[in-house]
Amino acid sequence: MPEATVLKPEEARKRLLLAYRAGKESSFLEMLTAPMPEATVLKPEEARKRLLLAYRAGKETSFLEMLIAPVLDPVDQRDVKGKRRLHPLFVVGGVLFLLAVAAFSFFTLHK
């Protein structure tokens, strides 16, 4: 068996895809069993720098908007007036929750 070498992730992905497309199962298996590069520990300052770069490279959205996005309607996030629209499942879930609370309170507090 040839000596395993540590590849960069991009190179490993490219070789793996080429081997898979060519139907070379032996080289495909070799790629799967190749040793992974050692993980490096990031200092908090370096992690912060990388996160800020990743956020800046993305769309021009704030952190708050990223947190609110799953609650918004995936089709039309804003109406004609520019107000945010809630996700329909979130609205239905809220209505069902209120009905459950009302039923619970009616049957436990009603004498």
User: Which residues pair with residue 84 across a beta bridge?
Assistant: 78
Is pLDDT of 77 > 60? yes
pLDDT band at 3 (very low <50, low <70, confident <90, very high): low
* Helix (H), strand (E) counts: the chain: 5, 0
Confidence (pLDDT) at 1: 42
Confidence (pLDDT) at 27: 58
Q: Average pLDDT, whole number, for the chain? A: 77
User: Which residues pair with residue 72 across a beta bridge?
Assistant: 86
Please state the rounded mean pLDDT for residues 67-85: 81
Most confident of 40-44, 53-57, 97-101: 97-101
- Report the chain's C-alpha Rg in angstroms: 26
pTM (whole model) above 0.75:
no
Structure tokens at 89: 């499942």
pLDDT tens-digit profile of 92-106? 999 999 999 999 999
Number of Cβ atoms within 10 Å of the Cβ of 31: 19
Chain centre distance of CA 5: 31
